[in-house]
Amino acid sequence: MICRIRLWLIAGFLAGAGACLRAEETVPISVSAGLFDLKNERTLGLEELPGARSFTVFRPEADGNHYNHGAVPVVFRGRLWVQWQSSARDEDAADTRVMFAVSDDMGERWERPQVLAAPRDGALVTNGGWVTDGERLVAFLNIWPQGQDPRGGHLEWTETTDGKTWSEPQRATMKDGSSFMGVMEQDLRQAGGGRLVSAAHFQPGLHVAPCHTRDPLGKSGWVRAAMPGAEDLGATSRAMEPGWFVRRDGSLVMTFRDQKGSFRVMAAESSDGGKTWSAPVVTSLPDSRSKQSAGNLPDGTAFLVNNPTGCKRRSPLVMSLSKDGRHFDRAYLLRTLGEDVETMRREGRYKRDGFSYPKCHVSDSFIIVACAVHKERIEITRVPVAALER
């Protein structure tokens, strides 16, 4: 009942205030009124995307790890790779390890998962994304020391040239040579001009800020970008877990989860390649207060993948599109709960139904959308680029 009331309120906001938000220069992005039918819980009134196909990367066996989350895809040496965090039952448990699996046919069949980072005594280890220059593949690890108050972590990296032998993890560093004292978000990509851009939740606590480096593999040289006016909730910032894309005019837009519960996407923008940013503000795009992913198609069209439900429900999973990177006026259904989606097999701390924490990789032919289904199975949806560009 509470969810339905919230949907009714947000639907009224979208219908009555969407045009006003588009006219407000301080709001970086907007959405067409009526694009999402929030009363239609299963599909939001959206059509399925032609040609999109979903495949399972990892499904736990009866005696296997039944908590799996934070899936991140990348293509390296013509193969599709996905990393994620995994534990027996609960989120952020002491037995958490970082896993990866590889596919030779862009996601249809997967090799047996391997351990990328084993559990550590005295610290939680989670995954922080990929970077590759074509010859080397770098995997980032977020290290969360136990007992730290407020909770936070630092960044390490490990690399491979063949996927078989990995280097010993080392600490990532800032431009001044100090350790990267933050938890890396997973949308690490080049923004042009030789600058690698991402965002992290920096200590003390988890306070989000964009960051950039000219090291193409992201091991060193990181700079915390200026983003004044970000609201502080104490141990965390209000804006969390961002993705980002490039507008046609070259400016950058970063989208965030709103920890304050507006159930709408927050956004900030940068006109200098990611060095400085505006303060994150609430937009008219619905959200589920979850991690999302953003990026660009090969033709420059901006996309956002999230659960635009306007409440905590993490189904359906949707891709929204904007030709200019300012106004989102197209959206497609990627996944939704139904008879074709296996139900959760085991309960666990913070496990919930739905398609959680999507992250994307864009190639010339496909967008690979990886997510956790019920925080239990790791799956990908393979989207033909040709079905989106127009």
Query: Which tens digit of pLDDT belongs to each residue from 373-384?
Result: 999 999 999 999
Q: Which residue has the tokens 């359906």?
A: 316
Return the percentage of the chain with pLDDT > 90, whole number: 90
pLDDT at 17: 41
Q: Write the pLDDT tens digit of every residue in 270-296.
A: 999 999 999 999 999 999 999 999 999
Q: What is the DSSP letter of 290?
A: S
What confidence category does residue 19 fall into, taking pLDDT thresholds of 50, 70 and 90? very low
User: What gap in Å lies between CA 255 and CA 264, rounded to an integer?
Assistant: 10
Q: Which of 372, 389, 378 is nearest to 100 (CA)?
A: 378
**pLDDT for position 21:** 38
Q: pLDDT-derived band of residue 176, with 50, 70 and 90 as boundaries?
A: very high
Q: Are 313 and 307 in contact (CB under 8 A)?
A: yes
- What one-character DSSP code corresponds to residue 50? T
* pLDDT averaged over every residue in the chain: 93
Mean pLDDT of 92-108: 98
Question: Dihedral of the CA atoms 39, 383, 33, 287 (nearest 10)?
Answer: 60
Rounded to an integer, the average pLDDT of 157-184 is 97
Instruction: Give the pLDDT confidence of 49-75 residue by residue, as tens digits.
Output: 999 999 999 999 988 999 999 999 999
Q: Does 14 have pLDDT greater than 70?
A: no
> What band does 4 get if pLDDT is binned at 50, 70 and 90?
low
The confidence score (pLDDT) of residue 20 equals: 39
> At 8, is the pLDDT very low, low, confident or very high (cuts 50, 70, 90)?
very low
Position 252 scores a pLDDT of: 98
* pLDDT band at residue 6 under the 50/70/90 scheme: low
pLDDT value of position 293: 98
Residue 15: pLDDT above 50?
A: no
Taking residues 305-330, report their average pLDDT.
98
Name the fold adopted by 2-387. Answer: Neuraminidase (2.120.10)
- What φ, ψ does residue 61 adopt, rounded to 5°? -75, 175
Separation of alpha carbons 122 and 315, rounded Å: 35
Amino acid, res. 8: W
Q: Residue 2's pLDDT is what?
A: 46
d(CA 390, CA 388): 6
253, 29 Cβ separation under 8 angstroms:
yes
Q: How far is CA 232 from CA 125, 205, 236, 354, in A?
A: 26, 11, 6, 29
pLDDT at 389 exceeding the cut of 90 = no
pLDDT grade, residue 260 (50/70/90)?
A: very high
Mean pLDDT in residue range 109-132: 98
Contact between residue 150 and residue 235 where contact means Cβ atoms under 8 Å apart = yes
A 10 A CB-CB count for 20 gives 11
Could you give the CA distance from residue 241 to residue 200 in angstroms, rounded to a whole number?
A: 8
Other beta carbons within 10 Å of 276: 13
The DSSP code sequence of 100-156 is EEEESSTTSS-PPPEEEE--BTTEEEEEEEEEE-SS-EEEEEEEEETT-SS---EEE
Burial profile 345-354: b = 16 or more Cβ within 10 angstroms, e = fewer: eeebeebebb
Mean pLDDT of 139-157: 97
Residue 16's SS3 state is helix
- Mean pLDDT of all residues in 225-242: 94
pLDDT band at 105 (very low <50, low <70, confident <90, very high): very high
Whether the pLDDT of residue 91 is over 90: the answer is yes
Predicted local distance difference test score (pLDDT) of residue 62: 86
In this predicted model, what pLDDT tens digit does every residue of 199-218 receive, in sequence order? 999 999 999 999 999 999 99
Indicate the pLDDT class of residue 24, thresholds 50, 70 and 90.
very low
Between CA 252 and CA 273 the distance in angstroms is 7
Domain locations in the chain as residue ranges: 2-387
Q: Tell me the mean pLDDT in the region 257-271.
A: 97
Rounded mean pLDDT of 292-308?
Answer: 97
